[in-house]
Structure 1
Amino acid sequence: MPVLVVNVDHVATLRQARRGIEPEPVTAAYMAEMAGATGIIVHLREDRRHIQDRDVELIKQTCNTRLHLEMAATDEMQGIALKIEPEMVCLVPEKRQELTTEGGLNCIGREAELKDFLAPIHEKGIRSSLFIDADPKQIEAAIATGTEFIEIHTGHYADAKEYDNRRVELEKILKSISLAKDIGLKVNLGHGLNYRNILNFKDVPGISEYSIGHAIMARAIYLGLDRAVRDMAELIRTFAD
């Protein structure tokens, strides 16, 4: 069965708005875990705009579920990953001016570079994923890096306003899932998924994890974090393996 992995970056964003001590991402991670999340995601950005190093360390030390560390492919982040030893690292592109990750990592022409970058991470027994667009060429390049997983960027699908555009983006994702499975990659989905648009994946086999943060935290403002996570986890439990 596919599982839910909860991103707690937005809790840290609220904390950093006041440079205070609350709300605490570590507490949010624990509550999400208790409510049914099978993993916690944090994106440690180079500019430390939300998640801080101590957040990553404390979540790794205190939570019983899997820790997924999203990060850029830099020497600094590689060193942190090797020190913290999360369950998985997910390589993502970063631009300083973006509000959130706007697109997938470009793997084409970087296969050898990314393979070398991931080698010491894999040697530590840490799994890896590449956050990429629903593009056959990117998927074929990804497998050459030695990664086990890809996370398909669902943001273009989630952001599409018109039905026809949304359907086109959905078809790209569905074809990418099938291609990735055929060539031996495991597939996660993430970015912009919510309690409505996720339903289009209900009968789609081959999805390992759903990475969701913003929609859960938005719902939590009204209903509480426990209820928001439980609602999403129960929804995903009805999906196909």
Structure 2
Amino acid sequence: MIKLFVNVDHVATVREARKTFEPSPLTAAILAEKAGAYGITAHLREDRRHMQDDDIKILKDQINTPLNLEMAAVDEMIQIAINTKPFQVSIVPENRQEITTEGGLNILKQEAHLIEIGNRFRELGILFSLFIDPDIDQVKGAKRVKADSIELNTGPYSEVSNSKERTQHLAQLRDAALKAHEIG
């Protein structure tokens, strides 16, 4: 069964741009819960561009649905996740110049590190997810590092303007999803 997580990051983006306390990611999360969302996603970036540490603590304490914490695979974020104990941690790549996450994690370049942090999270009962490009080798890598789930990067698909490229990107997404389902 597909479960909807609602991402409240850009509510925090508006708040930070206005340099005020509103709009509140917590208020958005509560509204999403009332509308039937299965869970809430929040990305705590290293540069704290939108979500802040307190936002994560407040969401964890106040929402009634699972919290999915998106983060980079760096020591500071790992410690925050260990202290917060969200339902799930989703590892995403970060680039300080990007406005939003632009590409998937390269699992193949950091398998040992991902295995190590995945094991730490599993010991605490935290699910471990990876944001990856729709590439069969990355899907296989996610299996090797024992990710509980993956999120496929749909950015390139959503950005193309011609139907031929759109069809190619959609086929890549389909193939990656089928491979993930096949290998578990």
Report the TM range for the smaller structure's normalisation: over 0.9
Q: Runs of 5+ in structure 1 lacking a partner?
A: 185-241
Tell me the SS of whatever aligns to 1:48: coil
State the distance in 2 between where 1:119 and 1:75 align: 14
**Deviates further, 113-122 or 24-33:** 113-122
Aligned residue runs from structure 1 range 141-152, under 5 A: 141-152=141-152
Tell me the SS of whatever aligns to 2:107: coil
**1:153 and 2:132 matched:** no
CA offsets, 1:9-65, max 9 Å, x none? 010000000221000111110011101111100000000000011111111111111
**1:132 and 2:123 matched:** no
CA offsets, 1:80-110, max 9 Å, x none? 0011100000000000000000000000132
**Cα offset for 1:146?**
1.5
State the distance in 1 between where 2:111 and 2:2 align: 28
CA offsets, 1:141-181, max 9 Å, x none? 11111211111111111111111111110010011111011
Letter in structure 2 aligned against 1:22: E
CA offsets, 1:108-155, max 9 Å, x none? 132112101222111000001000000001111111112111111111
Equivalent pairs counted in the alignment come to 184
Name the residue aligned to 2:115.
115
State the distance in 1 between where 2:162 and 2:66 align: 36
State the distance in 1 between where 2:157 and 2:14 align: 26
Name the residue aligned to 1:105.
105
State the distance in 1 between where 2:31 and 2:170 align: 32
State the distance in 1 between where 2:173 and 2:144 align: 20
Letter in structure 2 aligned against 1:146: K
Name the residue aligned to 2:59.
59
Q: CA RMSD in A?
A: 0.8
State the distance in 2 between where 1:161 and 1:5 align: 27
State the distance in 2 between where 1:107 and 1:75 align: 17
Name the residue aligned to 2:34.
34
Letter in structure 2 aligned against 1:172: Q
State the distance in 1 between where 2:48 and 2:110 align: 26
Q: Runs of 5+ in structure 2 lacking a partner?
A: none
RCO comparison, higher one (Cα < 8 Å, 6+): 1
CA offsets, 1:193-224, max 9 Å, x none? xxxxxxxxxxxxxxxxxxxxxxxxxxxxxxxx
Letter in structure 2 aligned against 1:90: S
Letter in structure 2 aligned against 1:98: E
TM-score normalized with structure 1 length = 0.75
**1:94 and 2:94 matched:** yes
Name the residue aligned to 1:238.
none
TM-score normalized with structure 2 length = 0.98
**1:74 and 2:74 matched:** yes
State the distance in 1 between where 2:70 and 2:109 align: 22
